Amino acid sequence: MVSENDETRGLPAEVLRTACDPAQFSFRSTEELETLDHLIGQERAVDAIRLAVEMPHRDFNLFVLGPSGLGRHWAVDVLTKERAKGMPVPDDWAYVNNFDAPDRPRALRLPPGMAQKLKLAMQGLVDDLAAEIPALFESDEYQSQRHALDEEYGQRQESAMADFADKAKAENVALLRTPMGFMLAAIRDGQIVKPDVYNTLSENEQAEIDEKIARLQEELGAILREAPKLDKELRGKVTELNKGMAERAVSAHIDDLLPEFDDCESIQSYLAEVRQDMIANAELFLAKPQQNGNSAFPEAIRKYHREPQFDRYVVNVMVTRDGDAAEGAPLVAEELPTLDHLTGRIEHASQMGTLITNFTMIKPGALHRANGGFLVLDARRVLSEPYAWDALKRCLTHRSITITSLAERLSLVSTTSLQPDPIPLDIRVVLIGDRRLHMLLTLLDPDFADLFKLQADFEDEVDRSPENMELLARLVATQARRDGLRPLSAGGVARLLDEAVRLAEDSKKLSLHLGDLTDLLREAAHYADQNGNGLIEAADIDRAVRESDRRSARIRDRMQEQIGRRTILIDTEGEKVGQVNGLSVISLGKYRFGRPSRITARTRMGSGKLVDIEREVELGGPLHSKGVLILSGYLTSTYALDVPFSLHASLVFEQSYGGVDGDSASSAELYALLSALSGVPIKQGFAVTGSVNQLGEVQAIGGINEKIEGFYDACAARGLTGAQGVLMPKANVDHLMVRPDIVEAAEAGKFRILPVESIDQGIALLTGRAAGTRGADGAFPADSINGRVEAQLRAFADLRRAYMRKAGENGGNGGGEEK
């Protein structure tokens, strides 16, 4: 039998919960602490961010990875802002009309602040010309020149017709004007020869009249054919006159503008094109303005389409800086990184049932706004938006921004579109996501590693040292000030740090999940306000922890209720052969709780098959199946090595109707098998967790605190007897941070937590019988657990040999597996 000693008494209270002592702090409240302006324990990640923002070479974009709540966004924001302030202000960009190819708008690169200045200058130019050109064409000077041209060409036309009329009259032929045009008629005795008179004339007279009419008709036709030429010539002269008049006005105003943009060659070139187009299209300024404002320039063209004939002179500003007031490079965080929001879009307007567009409807995206600086994106959101990730990679690869609409990519709209000039791209992109997403991108996207060469991996935890605890206290004080909360007492800080240890699941570490700690702090501050406390005390943190647990614990409480009512069969007293209490963890979002489960094992003679019922019905995950195969390997390599392994065993989690995964129950399953084989009962007051390897060593598992608490709650509901407890891996001792009520029960001797290193140690504690080791003769002690197990396996092997021999004598097949 196993005697009472330190091994069976369980771990002392100070090991079960390593609480922070408020006396170790040098302050009485966080009001005395200085603000902390940096993160704790994230030196590796911070160095990676600094390298990314300072590295001048292309493709050194950054992926920031780690779970939420570690301060990733805050660190990126602070470090990129710090770097951006010292960088040069990027240039402005604007789209203007391509007068030669309107479907290919031109991109203008302008000095900072110059785009808006050019836009206003063009607005003023068109406004001035819209008033001046019509007045110029209504001036006496223009009217007299135009009248002179009209008279000149009118006289030329009339003179030709008059000369022809005189010539025809000399030959007794009259030129008549009719509604249908001109016609010729013979004259006789001063009268026009009518048809009835013509018919009475002799053939010679008729022939003479016909000859004259035909000859003169040809001459008249030649004169009339000259009229369009004269009209064309007149129009040409009028056009030259108009251009001359328009050029005077346009050139005067543009010449006034040029000195404002002396240092910008692109604007000088653009204004030269504007001059030519305005002179060539002066009639645009003569159209009657719409009665919806005094300005001819379409200030709200995309909204109201005022004076659309002047669209061609709009300066569509894509991005502009505030000139001399601008400071540093831009930092843009795009919260909705759709394709349009990233690369920009081309809008369309409905006109007469048709969608139309022009360069004034080009809208910028986040890449335009962040060009020359930094763009921060949430990786998951970018990947979830159709074509957004592909567009981002394309822009980074080609170092330019090309606008392509989603409708165009999907061929959903057939309409007039544009092909704007690509805008050169100089940007550093920062993606923020979790580790799994980074791994998947690295494995599945061949472009990812080339474009995002740097990664900033944030730590989840930091060593629990006095220096780090002091820094975390300052960080808590900083957060309280930032949120306008009451200061914390030293006891409140100590209690909050206890939760940081609990979150880290390691008594030697502090969790850096600042989001969770901040939420707890805010809730505790609310309770402190309700109580009228001047400081946030440990009791307020305690209440926040309890209330948070209570809000999330509905399913856990229902399960414990079912255990208490014995609907779920869990024994907390007595002894049973082949039955043990296993422990698992159920996760519901961020909330986790432990759930005890009954594990049973049944054995008989067989062909060496170990049946995992969970796997057979596809409820067991691959890790659970691996654990069962490992314990099978332990059995076959530990017992009855000189005979065939002749066991048929089945293992199952009783009343488990969901999936089971993980190998943390493999030691419990092995204990159940050893009990079933040896016939020695297991004490049901214990629950077991821990994985096992093929050497029989018990290995560390996760969720140790929740598992212990789950079984403790089940025992407490039925009454603690002092004979109850949990067997856990010794490797998990440093991870203990159980609830205070469990610590109190352990101090009172009502509940024990026993660390074990090996299966032999564990089975001895569970059965009260020594496991046994092989003696000099190579055999286990006969009455030990291992001795009884080996004896049973040898008995199975003997039975199998006898069965095979008998089957062979009867001519049957005794070597097959039992059906």
What residues act catalytically?
664, 707
What is the pairing mode between strands 400-401 and 374-378?
Answer: unpaired
Contacts of 623 (CB under 8 A, 6+ apart): 661, 662, 663
Identify the sign of the CA torsion 285, 288, 293, 299: negative
At residue 511, φ and ψ (nearest 5 deg) are -70, 140
Residue 65 and residue 440 in contact, taking contact as beta carbons nearer than 8 Å:
no
At residue 526, φ and ψ (nearest 5 deg) are -65, -45
Output the DSSP codes for 574-587.
Answer: SEETTEEEEEEEEE
Both tokens of residue 683? Answer: 């004490």
Query: Nearest CA to 52 among 41, 68, 43, 63?
Result: 63
Cα-Cα-Cα-Cα torsion 783, 784, 790, 795, nearest 10 degrees, comes to: 20
Query: Nearest CA to 110 among 126, 100, 95?
Result: 95
From residue 236, give the alpha-carbon distance in Å to each of 146, 156, 241, 283.
Answer: 12, 16, 8, 14
Query: What span, in angstroms and rounded, lies between the C-alpha atoms of 708 and 717?
Result: 14
782: number of Cβ within 10 Å: 10
Residue 597 and residue 684 in contact, taking contact as beta carbons nearer than 8 Å:
no
Query: What span, in angstroms and rounded, lies between the C-alpha atoms of 353 and 365?
Result: 28
Q: What is the 3-state secondary structure (H, E, C) of 378-445?
A: EHHHHHHCCCHHHHHHHHHHHCEECCCCHHHHCCCCCCCCCCCCCEECCCEEEEEECHHHHHHHHHHC
Query: Nearest CA to 428 among 460, 392, 404?
Result: 392
Output the DSSP codes for 244-271.
Answer: HHHHHHHHHHHHHHGGGGTT-HHHHHHH
Cα-Cα-Cα-Cα torsion 526, 527, 531, 533, nearest 10 degrees, comes to: -70
Query: What span, in angstroms and rounded, lies between the C-alpha atoms of 464 and 505?
Result: 12
Query: What span, in angstroms and rounded, lies between the C-alpha atoms of 726 and 10?
Result: 9
Query: What span, in angstroms and rounded, lies between the C-alpha atoms of 79 and 53?
Result: 8
Query: Nearest CA to 504 among 495, 515, 513?
Result: 513
Element (DSSP H or E) covering residue 488: none
Query: Nearest CA to 304 among 319, 315, 293, 317?
Result: 293
3-state secondary structure of 595: strand
Residue 474 and residue 40 in contact, taking contact as beta carbons nearer than 8 Å:
no
DSSP state of 172: T
Both tokens of residue 816? Answer: 């097959």
Three-point CA angle 559, 565, 569, nearest 5°? 75
Helix intervals (H) in 486-621: 490-504, 514-531, 538-552, 554-564, 613-616
3-state secondary structure of 703: coil
Query: What span, in angstroms and rounded, lies between the C-alpha atoms of 554 and 543?
Result: 18
Output the DSSP codes for 777-811.
Answer: TS---TTSHHHHHHHHHHHHHHHHHHHHHHHHHTT
Please report how the helices 704-718 and 554-564 are oriented relative to each other, as an axis angle in degrees rounded to 10. 40
